[in-house]
Amino acid sequence: MSPMEIEQRSMEIIASELQVPLPDEVRPIVMRVIHATADFSFAETLTFTPDVIPSMRQLLMDGATVITDTNMALAGINKGALERLHARALCFMADETIAKEARQTGQTRAWLSMEHALTVPGPMLLVCGNAPTFLLSLLTRLRESSRFTDDLAVIGVPVGFVNVVEAKEQLLKSGLPCIVSKGRRGGSTVASAIVNALLYGIPGVRT
């Protein structure tokens, strides 16, 4: 079987075993996350703010910059699909300037990466799969500057035990358009799967 045939068969199995009723718009996103993780619990924990899926797709079609909190999430995103939309993906976690500032201030690289991300011009899709301080930095800066704009959306699916649940709940209450995995589960694989599912739902992007 070819890779595409394997993927198609996997999706058929997922569809046959998925027990949670989902809206048509949400279903492909959830199925791709299950495909990436083999974890059906995401059908119950993935949470979508109103109209977030078309909003995120519009950002991508407008050439948004996708900014991730880890290079692992960055690596999992389909760059060819992004290029067809004249969009791009970046991660600042390995940036030496960020690393130096983290050493000097004692702040996490994720926190400082988000501060740097917010200086990038144009529409943005912010993607967090690992570090909750990436989200907490965003929420702090937006409270300070009131920069709640129509050209920013967030995928908040960090995994772990410290500040993870709290960061996700704060994000859901922030008013930002977002997709969140409630609870402790998540990860960079989940984050990139959501981005790819958004991309693949745009006609002509996946060839």
How do residues 37-84 score in pLDDT, each as one tens digit?
999 999 999 999 999 999 999 999 999 999 999 999 999 999 999 999
CA distances from 151 to 9, 18, 66, 129, 171 (A): 36, 33, 12, 20, 16
What pLDDT digit, counting tens, does each position of 124-160 carry?
A: 999 999 999 999 999 998 887 755 566 999 999 999 9
Its pTM stands at 0.95
Let me know if 35 is a catalytic residue.
Answer: yes
Pairing relationship of beta strands 178-181 and 152-156 according to DSSP bridges: parallel
Pick one of 3.30.365.10, 3.40.50.10230, 3.40.50.720, 3.40.50.970 as the CATH number of 47-188. 3.40.50.10230
Tell me how far apart the terminal alpha carbons of the chain are, to the nearest angstrom: 18
| From 26, 27, 28, 35, the catalytic residue | 35
